Amino acid sequence: MKNFIASMLQDEKGQQSTKRVIALTGTMFLCITMMLNSFSHETIKPSPELVSAVEMIVCVCVGATSLDKFSGRGN
C-alpha cells in the first residue's frame, strides 16, 4: 500500500510531484471537512470562500499535472 501511494505521487520521471501532493492533500481536506460538516451544527462550518479557494487550488494542481503529462516537456 505504501508503494502504491508513493507511485501515485511520482511523475513520469519517478520524482515526487508537488502538484500531486498538494492535490491529494487538498482533496483529503475537502472530503474530511464535508464529511464532518454533515454531522455538525449549521453554525460550525467553514466559510464558503475558504472551501472555494481549496477547491480551486486542487483543480489547478490536477489540471497542471495533466498538462505536464501530455505536453512532452522535459523529454
Q: What is the pLDDT of residues 16-50, one digit of tens each?
A: 888 889 999 999 999 999 898 888 888 888 888 99
Encode the chain in three state secondary structure.
CHHHHHHHCECCCCCECHHHHHHHHHHHHHHHHHHHHHHCCCCCCCCHHHHHHHHHHHHHHHHHHHHHHHHCCCC
Confidence of residue 74 (pLDDT cuts 50, 70, 90): low
pLDDT on residue 66: 82
Residue that wins the pLDDT comparison between 66 and 21: 21
The pLDDT score that the predictor gives to residue 49 is: 93
Question: Could you read off the pLDDT of 50-62 as tens digits, one per residue?
Answer: 999 999 999 999 8
